[in-house]
Amino acid sequence: MTFQIVTGLSTFAPKYDAFILDLWGVVHDGTKPYPGVLDCLSKLREDGRPVLLLSNAPRTSNHVTGFLKTLGIEPQLYDHILTSGDLTRQVLIDREQEFLKKKTPKFYQFGAAKDRGIEDELDYLKVDDLAEADFLICTGLANDTEETPEAYRDLLTKSAALGLPMLCANPDLTVMKGETMLYCAGALAALYEELGAPVTLYGKPYPNAYELAMKKLGVSDPAKILAVGDSMRTDIKGANGMGIDNVLIAGGIHAEEWGLRSGDIPSREQVEEISALHGFSPTYVSGHMTW
């Protein structure tokens, strides 16, 4: 499989007109920006080239903007944010699914308090009793620093028995926060699917996320866009599916399985192995997103 291992983006990024960047694992680790990222963001935006941050965060983009500012990532470093929370909220607005068409549909939510609010100012009612719910919204685990998906098996089994459809606002299975791996909403959704229940996921790697990202960027030709992400399962798969060249950042979610320290570059054999496992390869591979 053809890919290039690089030490930074400067030799090839200028040939693209716009950029789609993952957040967690690429721009920051949940606690701080990665070394060199702020400079790289500035360089990418030179000559007016737009940068869109495409995240599987189960929160709407206005909440993500505020969080980024606490990390020192100011709005002038990017042009747009699009999250899986935004995409899920749009589904609630459109009400195309049958279970959303009744007056004031009721939902039960899996997730932490920080990830609530997708339904704000919409005609929905959050309930605490599964038996009252029309559907589920999954934004993650209530306490992702201590819990695993298995802690939710009984509750998900009851939900499946009730036939409740799940809207999952984050397809990611795990994320690295600093040096710690945390489970995400996608892990609960995967368990719910194993139980035979209906699940719909919003965000990367699904085409709708990239189609809307391209619309926001004002670029219709995927060959003119470069995507940067740290997950083969979501970022690289999604970009490849749209015909978008991409950079796999090794210092994110795959660093632990490769035995890498932050910023290390994997061997060619490691990238070939993971590419063979997934059935596709990245265009480029780098340790961190640096210029």
Find the helix packing angle between 84-94 and 61-70, rounded to 10°: 160
Q: Based on the domain organization, do 193 and 258 belong to the same domain? A: no
115-121 long-range contacts (CB < 8 A, ≥24 apart) are 115/58, 115/59, 115/85, 115/139, 115/140, 115/169, 117/59, 117/60, 117/63, 118/58, 118/59, 118/60, 118/85, 118/88, 118/89, 118/92, 118/169, 119/89, 119/92
Name the residue range of residue 195's domain: 92-201
Q: Yes or no: say if 139 and 111 are a contact pair by the CB < 8 Å rule.
A: yes
Taking CA atoms, 81 is separated from 97, 107, 216, in Å, by 26, 26, 9
pLDDT band at 263 (very low <50, low <70, confident <90, very high): confident
Number of domains in the chain: 2
Task: Indicate whether 84 belongs to any domain.
Answer: no
- What tokens were used for 31? 């606690």
Q: Yes or no: say if 204 and 54 are a contact pair by the CB < 8 Å rule.
A: yes
Q: Based on the domain organization, do 193 and 102 belong to the same domain? A: yes
Predicted confidence (pLDDT) per residue in 63-94, tens digit: 999 999 999 999 999 999 999 999 999 999 99
Mean pLDDT, residues 195-213? 97
Which of 201, 219, 242 finishes a domain? 201
Q: Looking at this protein, which amino acid is placed at residue 259?
A: G
Q: Based on the domain organization, do 105 and 187 belong to the same domain? A: yes
Which of 169, 201, 233 finishes a domain? 201
User: Which CATH number is 170's domain given?
Assistant: 3.40.50.1000
Task: Indicate whether 83 belongs to any domain.
Answer: no
In three-state secondary structure terms, 224 is helix
Distance, CA of 153 to CA of 140 (rounded, Å)? 14
Q: Based on the domain organization, do 118 and 216 belong to the same domain? A: no
Which of 171, 201, 231 finishes a domain? 201
In three-state secondary structure terms, 28 is strand
pLDDT at 61: 95
pLDDT at 120: 94
pLDDT at 1: 63
Predicted confidence (pLDDT) per residue in 10-63, tens digit: 999 999 999 999 999 999 998 999 999 999 999 999 989 999 999 999 999 999
- What tokens were used for 87? 């995409």
What's the mean pLDDT when you consider all of the chain?
A: 95
Task: Indicate whether 191 belongs to any domain.
Answer: yes
Looking at the DSSP bridge assignments, the partners of residue 89 are none
Check whether 261 has a pLDDT greater than 90: no
Q: Based on the domain organization, do 241 and 162 belong to the same domain? A: no
Task: Indicate whether 79 belongs to any domain.
Answer: no
pLDDT band at 116 (very low <50, low <70, confident <90, very high): confident
Beta strands 80-83 and 51-55: pairing type?
parallel
Q: Based on the domain organization, do 222 and 183 belong to the same domain? A: no
Task: Indicate whether 69 belongs to any domain.
Answer: no
Task: Indicate whether 111 belongs to any domain.
Answer: yes
Q: Based on the domain organization, do 116 and 50 belong to the same domain? A: no
Task: Indicate whether 86 belongs to any domain.
Answer: no
- What tokens were used for 158? 């009851």
Task: Indicate whether 215 belongs to any domain.
Answer: yes
Q: Based on the domain organization, do 224 and 132 belong to the same domain? A: no
Q: Based on the domain organization, do 99 and 195 belong to the same domain? A: yes
Q: Based on the domain organization, do 16 and 51 belong to the same domain? A: yes
Predicted confidence (pLDDT) per residue in 141-196, tens digit: 999 999 999 999 999 999 999 999 999 999 999 887 777 889 999 999 999 999 99
Mean pLDDT, residues 222-230? 98
DSSP 8-state assignment for residue 97: S
Q: Based on the domain organization, do 23 and 40 belong to the same domain? A: yes
pLDDT band at 290 (very low <50, low <70, confident <90, very high): very high
Q: Which residues contact 22 (CB under 8 A, 6 or more apart)?
A: 53, 54, 55, 204, 227, 228, 229, 230, 231, 235, 249, 252
What is the percentage of the chain residues whose pLDDT exceeds 90? 89
DSSP 8-state assignment for residue 124: -
Distance, CA of 189 to CA of 285 (rounded, Å)? 29
Predicted confidence (pLDDT) per residue in 237-249, tens digit: 999 999 999 999 9
Q: Based on the domain organization, do 126 and 225 belong to the same domain? A: no
What is the percentage of the chain residues whose pLDDT exceeds 70? 100
CA dihedral 259, 260, 265, 270 (to 10 degrees): 10
The owner of tokens 């080239």 is 49
Q: Which residues contact 125 (CB under 8 A, 6 or more apart)?
A: 104, 105, 106, 107
